[in-house]
Structure 1
Amino acid sequence: MALSGDHKSRGELRIYDSEDEVKTVLAEYVAEISDAAVQEHGVFALAISGGSLIDLMGKLLQPPYNKTVDWTKWYILWADENVVSKNHEDSSFKHAKDVFLSKVPIVPSHAVSINDSVSAEEAAEDYEFVIRQLVRTRVVNASEISDCPKFDLILLELGTDGHVASLFPNHAALNERKEWVTFITDSPTPPPERITFTLPVINSASNVAMVATGESKADAVLLAVDEIGPDRPSIPARMVQPPNGKLVWFLDKLAASKLEDSDLNN
């Protein structure tokens, strides 16, 4: 590991030499939170964004995690998902099933996919209903400071434009405060239709992990965690600030390359 430290209100920064090292330590981090959650309240409620984050779960298939993690206690949901068929190549559920879910003894019903036979708006409504049921039955904790669910961990990847989940810069979905899950039909990157957790849900989590690797993420990392000036735009990732939870950034050196050494040591 190259550097670690707190960056004021922007969370804890953990910076590693390579993307592969990030994946290794992130798997360890997920396993530790899983163990703690299971010991504390009997289950581990995880929400994960799509894309390359799912590939890191493959590290959990390796020793020691394949033997030590209590997979039967996991509930895995999507912080965002493309509104496509579960068999479509753009489905995060399919990606996770191929890479990870089919190789560990997670209870099939505990991997909660979206309804892929309805519109994006209906899919968001259905997914929120499922989460409300999980809160009602205490599978997912309720936040002490809002009416939102309190996931044990929400795992997000930083986009090059600063988006997280499917909350994109200057999009109306960023302003949603009432719903837990909302939908978009105009994603700037394909596919256009998606469901996504809203900011209040993300910020109600016990733990939020933000992952960014590669030089293409360096500008977004700077905007997300550096002191912001009047000439710098505010990006969605900067709005992730759980008031009653812990935010940890997992970065490689390339993604952190535009941060000043003085910033990293704050």
Structure 2
Amino acid sequence: MATAQPNLYSYPGIDALAKQLRPYVLRCQAAALARHDTFRIAVSGGSLPAALARALLAPGNGSPEDTPQFNKWHIFFADERAVPLDHKDSNYLLLKEELLDKIPAELGAPTAHPIDEKHVHDEDPQELADLYQKDLMRSFAAKDSVKLPVFDLILLGCGPDGHTCSLFPGHDLLREKDAWVAAISDSPKPPPKRITLTLPVVTSAINIAFVATGGGKKDIMKEIFDSEEGRSLPCALVNQGGGEKVSWFTDNPAVEGVSFPRSSL
């Protein structure tokens, strides 16, 4: 269990947030390419793909440090809904429309790792989860030699109930210790059938970033950061497990009234 505290960054609006999210992601990219010449990231859905696109597709200064090398990226999904890839609820479709389809050709194309849609209509999403775990194993070496996959960066959102990925408050999946990818059939938020990275995988990442914006988040942010009762919320569990590896990128309305100290980049 990590002991150091997460970093909480707050900005006047989404444009200022995106302007700081870009160098953060590109620093993670540079470190990953220096380590193993590939950048393995996981992303969630919601408003995150739009924020990521705003950050990465903005004009840069032309320097190598300020240029996404998308041809070296392997993008996985922190969670996904058991729906076809062209379904409106698909996180893959959301990322494709917001980011992947808009990347200029000269920046290269990332390798995306969507779910196997042949199994989205299965009664039980366990096979979908097993196949996705096998995809991770191919990318992160055989499971018997790697206890957990170590992502270079995981980008997450925060739900109004404090959930992240498809890890929901009070759910049994929060106690999963062995699987890399878990199935969920009873999501309290539709659609009910999903797969998700497990908490140990999320907190094992080298860098973990949340993006949370809007005044609708301020109550749950107070719970996550300021209250003892909020310590069992999934987002708070990521904070506890990841410690200083965790960075929150928020706008001012999302953290209005939150007393947890702000960090500066």
- Comparing 122-131 with 215-224, greater Cα deviation is found at 215-224
- Comparing 26-35 with 175-184, greater Cα deviation is found at 26-35
Q: 1:245 to 1:115 in 2, by over 3 A?
A: farther
Q: Indicate the SS of the match to 2:190.
A: coil
Q: Indicate the SS of the match to 1:249.
A: strand
- Mapping 1:1-266, distance limit 5 Å: 9-59=4-54, 60-64=56-60, 68-104=67-103, 106-107=108-109, 110-118=111-119, 119=122, 120-136=125-141, 147-228=147-228, 234-240=232-238, 241-243=240-242, 246-260=245-259, 263-264=260-261
- TM-fit CA distance, 1:242: 3.9
Q: Distance in 2 between matches of 1:235 and 1:65?
A: 40
Q: Indicate the SS of the match to 2:86.
A: coil
Q: Which amino acid aligns with 1:128?
A: Q
- Comparing 61-70 with 189-198, greater Cα deviation is found at 61-70
Q: 1:205 to 1:225 in 2, by over 3 A?
A: same
Residue by residue over 1:31-84, the C-alpha shift from the partner in whole angstroms, topping out at 9 and shown as x without a partner, is 221122112320111100111101122221221189821111000000001110
Q: Distance in 2 between matches of 1:71 and 1:65?
A: 17
Q: 1:158 to 1:53 in 2, by over 3 A?
A: same
* Gap runs ≥5 in structure 2: none
Q: Indicate the SS of the match to 1:45.
A: strand
Identity across the alignment (%): 38
Q: Which amino acid aligns with 2:84?
A: S
**TM-score, normalised to structure 2's length?**
0.86
Q: Distance in 1 between matches of 2:52 and 2:67?
A: 15
Q: Indicate the SS of the match to 2:232.
A: coil
Q: Distance in 2 between matches of 1:68 and 1:224?
A: 34
**Aligned partners of 2:81 and 2:195 also within 8 Å:** yes
Q: Distance in 2 between matches of 1:206 and 1:245?
A: 10
Q: 1:183 to 1:65 in 2, by over 3 A?
A: farther
Q: Distance in 2 between matches of 1:65 and 1:225?
A: 36
Residue by residue over 1:75-133, the C-alpha shift from the partner in whole angstroms, topping out at 9 and shown as x without a partner, is 0000001110011111111111122112335546x200001121321111000011011
Number of residue pairs the alignment of both structures matches = 248
**Aligned partners of 1:167 and 1:196 also within 8 Å:** yes
- TM-fit CA distance, 1:26: 1.4
Q: Distance in 2 between matches of 1:170 and 1:205?
A: 23
- TM-fit CA distance, 1:17: 1.1
Q: Distance in 2 between matches of 1:211 and 1:232?
A: 18
* Gap runs ≥5 in structure 1: 1-7
Q: Indicate the SS of the match to 1:72.
A: helix
**TM-score, normalised to structure 1's length?**
0.85
Q: Distance in 2 between matches of 1:65 and 1:111?
A: 26
| Superposition RMSD in Å | 2.4
Q: Distance in 2 between matches of 1:227 and 1:265?
A: 16
